[in-house]
Amino acid sequence: MANTSDLANSRRAAKIQLDRTVVGIELTLISIIQGLALGVLAASAVQPLVKLQWETWPYIATGLLVILIFWSRSLIHTLSFIGWPLEFGHTFLYFGATLIEAAALSQVDRPEAWFALNTLYAAAVWVLYAWDLRLVRRHAQDFGTPEEHALLDDIVRDQRLNIAWMMPLAVAFQGLAWWLVHAYPRQMVQGRWHLLLIGLTLLFSLNYLHDGVRLLRRRQDWLLVRATQQRTGS
């Protein structure tokens, strides 16, 4: 009986150590890929900023918000539910979404291409949220205490909100914006009505980034309790 208990404790300690390793890998990956995205945006922004091409500035600002949103949301997800075993599908989706994101960030001076690529990017993030919900359910047995159950409920609620509403709305709006710019280039581009579309995108992005900040604040006590319990249990 003692041997069985020792084995269970050893497996738990090993699981906690592997969870920490996976979290470290995930945080490093997020920083690297979003650093690359920021490099693409910076390269695209130099000439518009130096030459005072003000019509591109809302695109540059939105691009920066997109990077901050991806980084902060990924960070929150990592701290909330990422652990052992390492999920390659989730990681590969990070790479794919970042590739589309970087391509979009290179088009700050081309509204049609910007909205087309951001439609694809929003769809990729939609898939990522759906994939991560499966991942959360797979790790549900790791949430045992009342605080952990509260954290799990909050995670599932946020994932479902993004899958059912936020990402579909983002895809629909970006797709509509692309169609308007493509179908009516004279009015939308030459008439500068595209600035209304990117302005709305900018406002949505600001609100979504702020919502992520509130999300982390809401979870921080649960995350602290969970980390303390894991450390004590190890």
The DSSP code sequence of 31-63 is HHHHHHHHHHHHHHHHHHHHTT-GGGHHHHHHH
**Token pair belonging to 34:** 């979003």
Regarding pTM above 0.85, the answer is yes
pLDDT band at 142 (very low <50, low <70, confident <90, very high): confident
Q: What percent of the chain has pLDDT over 70?
A: 94
Q: Report the alpha-carbon distance of residue 207 to residue 101 in Å, rounded.
A: 19
Q: Are 222 and 154 in contact (CB under 8 A)?
A: yes
Asked if the model's pLDDT at residue 176 lies above 70, the reply is yes
pLDDT at 48: 96
pLDDT band at 31 (very low <50, low <70, confident <90, very high): very high
Asked if the model's pLDDT at residue 166 lies above 70, the reply is yes
* Section 78-91 average pLDDT: 90
pLDDT at 196: 97
Closest CA to 223 of 149, 151, 142, 154: 151
Tell me how crowded residue 33 is: count the other CB atoms within 10 A of its CB: 21
Q: What is the mean pLDDT of the chain?
A: 93
**Token pair belonging to 36:** 């690359």
Q: Which has the higher per-residue pLDDT, 175 or 16? A: 175
Q: Are 223 and 23 in contact (CB under 8 A)?
A: no
Asked if the model's pLDDT at residue 233 lies above 70, the reply is no
Domain residue ranges in the chain: 2-233
Asked if the model's pLDDT at residue 8 lies above 60, the reply is yes
* Section 133-137 average pLDDT: 94
Q: Within its chain, how far is the Cα of 135 from the centroid?
A: 15
